[in-house]
Amino acid sequence: MMSAKDKRVRLMNELLGGIRVVKFYAWEKHFRRRIKQLRADELKALKARKYLDALCVYFWATTPVLVAILTFATFVLMGGTLTSAKVFTCMALFNMLISPLNSFPWVIGGLVEAWVSLKRVRKLIQVSHNCNFISAKRKVTFKKLISCPIWIPDHTTVQSDWSRMPRLR
């Protein structure tokens, strides 16, 4: 889902950055089609994720009942006899397990999202700049501007060669 969203956001940034050119050459229909397609892809991924969330909610509601039924059925099939003391004790223990069992799918989802975020941050941090910095106070030629990052007095860098800029995926 995030890759579809990233593609759409990248196209929107491109469109908004060059809106005058788009209007001048009357490319609105072309960009509208591309944006609609990317949005449809994003919505498809979002729909799949929401179905997965609905499935998690279903399991959240049915897990305690299913665990209790299966446990008691297994106990009886193995030759045990159910007494009220055993049933009430087991039900009390199952009620204590409801919260951890219900949160398990969301924990897995959170771990997957954290892993993806970690990979993105690691990729961004590992980018090396092989150029010398260009001071904003010196005369900057267009060739230097395209090939190297720019040093700005507040100690931040701006990437000028966008083709080499790392993209989060």
Q: Are residues 147 and 120 in the same domain?
A: no
Domain span at residue 113? 2-127
- In this prediction, residue 89 carries a pLDDT of 92
Q: Are residues 78 and 135 in the same domain?
A: no
The answer to whether residue 167 sits within a structural domain is: no
Q: Are residues 107 and 80 in the same domain?
A: yes
Q: Are residues 54 and 137 in the same domain?
A: no
The answer to whether residue 168 sits within a structural domain is: no
Q: How far apart are CA 75 and CA 63, in angstroms?
A: 18
The answer to whether residue 166 sits within a structural domain is: no
Q: Are residues 74 and 109 in the same domain?
A: yes
pLDDT tens-digit map of 117-163: 888 888 877 765 544 444 444 554 545 444 555 444 444 444 455 55
pLDDT tens-digit map of 64-117: 888 889 999 999 999 999 899 999 999 998 888 877 877 777 788 889 889 988
pLDDT tens-digit map of 16-59: 888 888 787 888 888 889 889 988 988 998 898 899 888 878 88
Q: With beta carbons less than 8 A apart as the criterion, state whether 120 and 103 touch.
A: no
Amino acid at residue number 36? K
The answer to whether residue 65 sits within a structural domain is: yes
The answer to whether residue 70 sits within a structural domain is: yes
Looking at per-residue pLDDT, the higher value among 4 and 47 belongs to: 47
Q: Are residues 122 and 137 in the same domain?
A: no
Q: Are residues 122 and 134 in the same domain?
A: no
Residue 19 CB: number of other CB atoms within 10 A? Answer: 12
Count how many domains the chain has.
2
Q: Are residues 78 and 96 in the same domain?
A: yes
Q: Are residues 44 and 106 in the same domain?
A: yes
Q: Are residues 153 and 78 in the same domain?
A: no
Joined tokens for residue 108: 């897995």
Q: With beta carbons less than 8 A apart as the criterion, state whether 3 and 167 touch.
A: no
